[in-house]
Structure 1
Amino acid sequence: EPEPVRAEPVSGAEGTEPADALRPLRQRLVTAVVLAVPVIAMAMVPALQFEYWQWLSLTLAAPVVTYAAWPFHKAAFTNARHGAATMDTLISVGTSAAFLWSLWALFLGTAGTPGMTHPFELTISRGDGSGNIYLEAAAGVTAFILAGRYFEARSKRKAGAALKALLELGAKDVTVVRDGREEQIPVGDLKAGDRFLVRPGEKIATDGTVVEGTSAVDASMLTGESVPVEVGVGDGVTGATVNAGGRLLVEATRVGADTQLARMAKLVEDAQNGKAAAQRLADRISGVFVPVVIALALATLGFWIGNGS
């Protein structure tokens, strides 16, 4: 399988982690864009094609196809070892074929001749191909695909920061009542059935039921509801909401991963790392589409070689 773009761990928000996991991808993207733009411009605009422009194009395109496109080549090799083919395989094979053909045309064909021009045409012209280079295709495809991967990774990273912020809504410590005595403990040590105090202005430590007192609870951080909700004995309360009124004694009913806040965080995390139905369908199609495309390309090559063209 190709290396998927995964959501960042929720232990750090965007831009605050010591090692920026997006930095390698961003460096490859910047390299690809900076070098690919002049290659594409020279190939598309005949006025920019000076005497040795093709050799400058080769110099600029080489790092794009090797360094910037390395994740695609690595994924394609890994897939090949497992007998699989994905879109990474198609990208790697396509860019490599365009680059290697250009090398052949430059060193063994006529494309390296000083003053060679590469006119921009919308129609197909017949020829032996020895004077044609496709460096702009190899560099351009790499840059565009990297841009898509980068923006996808960045959006998931931002979602990871939002998930971290969601988890930080919860209280860190709680005052439990045991044998008539108040004791402050970490929220992680709280068990279902424990009774804990919630003073005015404090966050409710976990989901529970009010057993003593009345108050108004501000749940805006979780639900967006701006008006505090009145609660009394027997009413349920949700962890991470704020006690905006009187003193409450609450009996914990759900703790840890069972709380509403934890379930919300789990849904966000699953949405980040999971695949949508359309994406799973695309993966299944690419598993058939890519080998078919490669087979057709090889058959076309064999046909033209067999014809002596």
Structure 2
Amino acid sequence: MIRFRGRVADLGYAAGWRLTGAAPQRLADAVFRWGADLATEQGGEGVTQLRRNLARVVPQADEAELDDLVRDGMRSYARYWCEMFRLPVMDLAAVHRAVDETITGVENLDAALAEGNGAVLALPHSGNWDVAGVWLVHHAGTFTTVAARLQPESLFRRFVAFREALGFEVLPINGGRRPPSVVLAERLRQNRVVCLLGDRELTAAGVPVTFFGEETRMPAGPAYLAARTGAALLPVGSWFTATGWGFRVHPPIRVAGPDGVSAATQALADVFAADIASRPADWHMLQKLWVADLPPRRRAALARASAAQRPTGRGEP
């Protein structure tokens, strides 16, 4: 049954790329918007969790305002998927030019690369991070990122092929020939760019941070790599505009050696929080994020793991 479901998922994504790419853009946009509104009305687990997450981001919102925000959030999430399926048939040079007109803080990236130690760009699950990657390839060349090894393997290969066709270098988070942390450090020492999503890691490997006033965990990887290699750690904000995309490359966060990873990750969380609070509908977090939302056993396991860990801030991406 698991293999069957995996095969169905693989075929579904394949159909998404084929059909969405072949459809007129207005039709594709309308279909995905309709699907988002339908999902919002049905109120499944992901929609319910999105509402709980957004209630923390905008605690002053009343129920009607939260209803509107969840609807807009689902439409934003659907827009991400529609654009992702259409990217293979889009004019990528035109995408780069459109982003180039709105992106801010590029001087922070250029300055980091001028120093010669590479740059770690850390993003939350907001806006369209694949479009950010398209812009980056045209601006600074191929960059390196990591991807979870989805099941079935054919689905994982399909996503890797999609992003490699856009010019990304994609490393599996596990099961590769070498640990991704080793390869990422090599790329940074070659004065290249590494991009990592950095707003969720609810495991013992995550760094405890305070996010919108509550405890969660975020990946150690971005700050750890910066500490290990001397690369600049640059938070990136990402959102949609009415006709395109907005991005902001923030100034670097200082990482004071391996023992400063925890403080740097908290600083990263603070930058993410400010960007998300300014455009909450474009934050696509339909999963549990805060420790308080986890089942009691999992919360207890995280607490035991925290107590057992030495507070060095070290960790693998």
TM-score after normalising by structure 2:
0.22
Higher-Rg structure is 1
Higher helix proportion: 2
TM value normalised by structure 1: 0.23
Structure ranking higher on relative contact order (CA contacts 8 Å, 6+ apart): 2
